[in-house]
Amino acid sequence: MSVWVDLQGQGPVVEQLRRAAQSGAPTHAWLITGPPGSGRSNAALAFAAALVCEREQLVERGCGICRACHTTLAGTNADVTFIATEKTTIAIDEARELVRKAHDSPSSSRWRVIVVGDADRMSERTTNVLLKAIEEPPPRTIWILCAPSPADVLVTIRSRCRTLTLRLPPVTDVAALLVRRDGVDPALALHAARAAQSHIGIARRLASDAGARQRREEIVRLPLTLRDVTTAVLAAGSLLELAQAEAVSSNEERDISDKADLLRSLGAPETGTLPPPMRAQVRALEEDQKRRSKRSVTDQLDRALTDLLSFYRDVLVLQLAAQGAPAVAHSPDQAATVELVNESLREALGEFATRTRPEATLARMDAINDVRRRLTTTNVSPLLALEAMAVSLL
């Protein structure tokens, strides 16, 4: 067992992190980048576990067996601080707390490790709070920042970090991970991995939740329902409802679990009214859950648009194949460089592809990406933005 075992398809990066963990003097600041689903946070936590691993220097660190490895991966190691946000941005007060933590000596490990899972969600002012601590950290402190790309982090920060870039793992590797780690049926695992476009977290959800698979299927089929402005407006409303339903479904179990854990930790009575101090803590948790739900809807809407984008991506693949482009799969069993994401819709996709040209397909893909950018960077009404997009897809 090793902390690196779940980092599928990331051999070169894992090898560099392994060597650094073995080193007596690893680089003091790291920036791990890669597209959503590539496993940035998992890689950061695995590296943190390897750095604080209790194994002797003669044995490779990151055993995955010792107490330090277990507590790091579980998020309870006193010498490893992990911060990510379920709000729009990381607050400046949270950044200041990280700086204070960075100056504490490690309690039982070689290193104090600070992991920022959403370094791209810091404003310039917040990032500047970390600058001095990252530039000149205490002797036993190591920073690990995660972001989609180096461009998502201020140049003053990334210039002081060693950057490693992850890639999306192959579909077959993600499927193999689902089979080995989660016991998923191989055929379902392959379907989920392909539908998730190698995003490991989403592939796991699709493999384990039939409702999530059904909602995704409805999203991908939406372009087949577009006939006129009326159907486009209806499709936009359906898309928003499906994203909201997926957000509720993905958060519901976690919200219940978080509340139960809080009540248990407070020693709350099983029946009757809670004392005022306990009620205040429960209200605070519920407020946090509301903020998490708001971001979750935005994230799920972006994922829904990514799934919608996969429909037109497949259409473009078939259109290019019809024009004689090489390395395009013409059947599910044919090995090829380019495969369909939505293989089960091959017939409908093929018919749709004959009714339009590649230039029009690219224009539709641009329209979807434009809405994705607007929804994450402006305060535009989601429904109005989706309606305008849906009309442009006609």
Cα four-point dihedral sign 289, 210, 166, 339: negative
Distance CA 20, CA 162 (A): 11
Contact of 118 with 89, CB cutoff 8 Å = no
Residue 115 pLDDT greater than 90, yes or no = yes
Q: Which residues pair with 80 in a beta bridge?
A: 113
Sole residue written with tokens 């397909």: 361
Distance CA 372, CA 384 (A): 13
Top-ranked range on mean pLDDT: pick from 125-139, 246-260, 273-287, 327-341: 125-139
- Intra-chain end-to-end CA distance of the chain, in Å: 52
For 14: left if phi > 0, alpha if psi spans -120 to 50, otherwise beta; the answer is alpha
pLDDT at residue 266, rounded to an integer: 75
| E strand or H helix that includes residue 383 | helix 382-392
Give the pLDDT mean for 279-307: 80
Distance CA 356, CA 133 (A): 55
In this prediction, residue 336 has a pLDDT band, given cuts at 50, 70 and 90, of very low
Distance CA 116, CA 391 (A): 40
Distance CA 225, CA 311 (A): 13
What residue ranges do the domains of the chain occupy? 10-165, 171-208, 229-325+339-393
Percentage of the chain beyond pLDDT 70 is 93
In this prediction, residue 342 has a pLDDT band, given cuts at 50, 70 and 90, of very high
Percentage of the chain beyond pLDDT 90 is 53
According to DSSP, residue 35 is labeled: -
Which CATH code of 3.40.50.300, 1.20.210.10, 3.30.160.40, 3.40.50.10540 fits the domain covering 10-165?
A: 3.40.50.300
DSSP 251-311: HHHHHHHHHHHHHHHHT--SSSPPPHHHHHHHHHHHHHHHHHHHHHHHHHHHHHHHHHHHH
Residue 133's closest CA among 187, 97, 167?
97
3-class secondary-structure state, position 10: coil
Distance CA 394, CA 391 (A): 6
Residue 311 pLDDT greater than 50, yes or no = yes
Contact of 45 with 104, CB cutoff 8 Å = no
